[in-house]
Chain A
Amino acid sequence: MNGNITIDHGSGGKLTLDLIENVFKADSGLDSAILCDIAFTTDSHSVQPLFFKGGDIGKLSISGTVNDLLCVGAKPLYISSAFIIEDGFSIKSLEKIVESMKREAESAKVKIVCGDTKVIENKNSGGVFINTSGIGKIIKAIDGSNVQEGDAVIVTGTIGDHGFSILNEREKFNFKSNLSSDCSNLVDLIMPLIESDFNIKFMRDPTRGGLAMCLNELCYKKDYGMEIYEENIPIRKEVLGMSEILGIEPCYSANEGKMVIIADKKDAGNIISVLKKHSLGINSEIIGSITTKHPSKVVMNTAFGTKRILNMPVSDKMPRIC
């Protein structure tokens, strides 16, 4: 590959995928590696602001890695944490972050077992970055291998909450709302599904790049695609309002406490019932189904019968000018 790294290579969209395939020569297939009965994953976290409505970088660094382990059907167990901290960063803030990591680890029933600290020159890059790796025990390997025509596509709640909440705080748009990040580990929501007899075939958390990227990744280079029904996608009123003003579709906005699940359609109704019993899954919906009619493509259906492709985002979406 030619050229230089741009900020867009980290957006989680198509350019990130290009980098993974062409430079790292890796497969971006699953959120965690499945190594016999062990799941293993790693994730680096940088977010601005570090403390936001609904969470902070500490909480995010635990929940993000825990959720990636859940994706492959593992019970999350152990976490490592490595800090890269800029010279001059407040120790009080660091303590707050560490306390938050502890709380989130307790909530996710995982242990933080090892770590590392590096301090770098202050270049105003945001203060602190956290890498966490996670190990889990595979309960039921979920690797996307048995997806077939007719399977249901489920999302466990409203989309775009994290992306819009963070954007509002970071850019000081001053939209007055109760919207906060959905940043949360999903252990209590997803473990009952992993431990059940439901035929769950594929899971992915729609983080950077939003629901659109997640759905595209789930059928990337596959012999199936998806039909998604726009009116079934759960969206908060606040998110919709901001999305209309800024010209950014909620589907392209990040989530940090949601899961997309592909499951056998005969189990879909029961899965929704189970999800809805938990506060984190109360807005769960079946948003579409798997089709072999247009392999690798995600087709969005409007309530009034028109269709379009829901493409992979190339980079972060920009607010429109006019």
Chain B
Amino acid sequence: MLQNIKNVYYDPVLIKKIVSKIKKQADTLDREIDIMHVCGTHENSIVRFGLRDLLPESIKLRAGPGCPVCVTSTRDIDAIINFALKNDVTIMSFGDMLKVPGSEYSFHSALSLGLDIKMVYGVEDAIKEAEISKKEIIFFSVGFETTAAPIASILSEVFIPDNFSIYSVHKFTPNGVYELLKSGKINADGLLLPGHASVISGLKVYEKIADEFHLASVASGFEPLDILVSVYMILQQIIDKKSVVENEYKRTVAYEGNKKALRYMDKVFHLDDSIWRGLGNIANSGFFVNEQFKNIDASYKFDIVYPENYIEHKKGCRCADVILGNAEPKDCPLFAKICTPSNPIGPCMVSDEGTCKNVYDAGSIE
């Protein structure tokens, strides 16, 4: 029944066909090819549909920095927890964010210290809460451009109560990926560009990456056939010695992006250097609230003290390497032993977009 609804993107015949084409390409290339994706939902699809098992052994599909809560620095988590504990404020954020461990506490585990936290599905719920609450509400605003854009549109369109502010830890994928490639922290032969994030940013922003780092780059959808066709397109570019940006996800992604969404983002946010968890400060990779909206910027409104010391990854945790695609979850000594979804030690074990959580959930049949 699922197949009937999903039709073409699940079609076993088409999938078999594209897999056999990929096998021929792998034979032609006759070397290991590393394709990196930078989207947690891609990892989720790849694992959920077992797509790695369909690819020839020489074609590696690796997860890069694509999980928004995984790259949120503990510096930000610790600072907001400490501030909220000392002041009468309510912290609101997405469910996944609340469970991500900081240096010592996650927002969720800090409940036991008396932290007032609430899970919301969107910034509008936090604004509504502010309307009825006597307390200050801080929305811990996390996500890539996919999330930053709708949040920007709401913040610029609706009435905002005085007791509401956001603390932005939003990150901009293309700039993060560019700097990480430039520093040599990540490397690959091809790049599977994020489908959802590219709806907002468009693909022009990736041209520099494809060109400068000679990376065959294809924006991909999330269905099994989307991802396999994108892999095929990347391999064909490599065979043809090309490194350009192509769009497999044309039914959703426009090359120039979503202009209206980009306008909203420009209105509310500007780019500046931002700390990514375990990866350090990355130039122009974070969205920060514009001067014009400073009254709803928690970092302007409040005296938030940043911890001098903060622990991005606990001893033994290899999330930093996993996020960069330089280690697989199974390479981590903590994975599935002491680090599990009910007791996550590293950020990658929390969200359905986290690489460790995905691999853990998919389990091992043996």
**Residues of B contacting A18 with CB < 8 Å?**
342
CA of A77 to CA of B96, assembled, Å? 43
Q: Is B90 an interface residue (CB 8 A)?
A: no
Is A278 part of the contact surface with B, judged by Cβ < 8 Å?
no
* Interface 0/1 of B124-164, CB less than 8 Å to A: 01000000000000000011101100000000000000000
**B112: Cβ under 8 A from any A Cβ:** yes
Query: Which residues from chain A contact B10 at a C-beta distance below 8 Å?
Result: 231, 302-304
Task: Give the distance in Å from the alpha carbon of A297 to the alpha carbon of B360 in the complex.
Answer: 14
With A297-B365, A317-B352 already in contact, the answer to whether A306 and B53 are too (CB < 8 A) is: yes
**Interface presence of A247 (CB below 8 A):** yes
Hey, which chain B residues are within 8 Å of A171, CB to CB? 121, 125
B1 in complex: contacting residue of A4, A234, A314, CB < 8 Å: A234
Asked if B2 contacts A14 (CB within 8 A), the reply is no
Q: Nearest chain A CB to B120's CB is how many angstroms away?
A: 9
Is B2's CB under 8 angstroms from A235's CB? yes
| A contact residues around B16 at 8 Å (CB) | 304
Chain A residues with CB under 8 Å of B1's CB are 231-235, 283, 285
- Interface class of chain B by DSSP: helix
Question: Is B114 in contact with chain A by the CB < 8 A criterion?
Answer: no
Considering only CB atoms, which chain B residue lies closest to A13 in the complex?
B342
Q: How far is the CB of B310 from chain A (nearest CB, A)?
A: 22
Q: How far is the CA of A249 from the CA of B365 in the complex (A)?
A: 20
The reply to whether B44 and A247 contact each other, CB–CB distance below 8 Å, is yes
Q: A233-B2, A306-B49 are in contact. Are A320 and B353 (CB under 8 A)?
A: yes
Give the CA-CA distance A233 to B6 in the complex, in Å.
Answer: 13
Which of A231, A294, A306, A318 is within 8 Å of B95, CB to CB?
A318
- Kindly identify which residue among B49, B108, B197 contacts A302, using a CB–CB cutoff of 8 Å: B49
B2 engages A306 (CB within 8 Å): no
Which residue of the partner chain, among A230, A249, A283, A322, contacts B146 with CB atoms under 8 Å?
A322
Chain A residues near B213: list those with CB within 8 A: none
Residues of B within 8 A of A240 (CB): 2, 5-6
Among B224, B351, B361, the one with the most A-chain Cβ atoms within 10 Å of its Cβ is: B361
| Chain A 298-322 interface mask (CB, 8 Å, partner B; 1/0) | 0100111111110100110111111
Q: With a CB–CB cut-off of 8 A, which chain B residues contact A314? A: 340-342
B69 at the interface (CB under 8 A from A): yes
A304 x B224 contact (CB < 8 A): yes
B196 at the interface (CB under 8 A from A): yes
CB-nearest residue of chain A relative to B353?
Answer: A320
Q: For B365, give its contact among A233, A247, A299, A303 (CB under 8 Å).
A: A299
Residues B42-61 near A (CB distance < 8 A): 44, 47-51, 53-54
**CB of B71, distance to nearest CB on chain A (Å):** 11
A contact set with B: CB distance below 8 Å: 4, 6, 8, 14-15, 18, 171, 173, 230-235, 237, 240, 247, 249, 283, 285, 294, 297, 299, 302-309, 311, 314-315, 317-322
Please name the 4 residue pairs, one residue from A and one from B, whose CB atoms are nearest each other, closest first: A306-B50, A309-B363, A318-B95, A231-B3
